[in-house]
Amino acid sequence: GIYAGVAEFSDGTRVSAAISVGTKPTFGGAQRVCEAHLLDHDAPLDDYGWDIRLEFTRFLHEQITFESIEPLLKRMARDCDLVRHYAGERTTS
């Protein structure tokens, strides 16, 4: 499924994250993976291997199989907007 959440780095920095747990059905995946898209964080895209802790804060929806990359990217943008919205609710409560 797709989740809103928070990624926490080993130095205590926390950033909002859109999290996917599943098989990447649009790409024909079979192996379950967990991927976190860190929002509004300026680390280099090719910089992997960070030690982070993921906190799942809200379920957004089940995985969807898209016919092409274009609708997938549109849905990802919408999901990221939802994550930002829910993150704003957390910080103002």
Apex 72 CA angle, 69 and 78, nearest 5: 145
Residue-wise pLDDT tens digits, 53-79: 999 999 999 999 999 999 999 999 999
Would you list the domain boundaries of the chain? 2-92
In the predicted model, what is the mean pLDDT of the chain?
90
What are residue 73's DSSP bridge partners? none
85: left (phi over 0), alpha (psi -120 to 50) or beta: alpha
Give the right CATH number for 2-92 from 3.40.50.11290, 1.10.10.410, 2.40.30.30, 3.30.2350.10: 2.40.30.30
Which of the listed ranges 28-32, 41-45, 82-86 does the model predict with the highest average pLDDT? 82-86
Q: pTM score, two decimals?
A: 0.86
Find the mean pLDDT for residues 28-48: 83
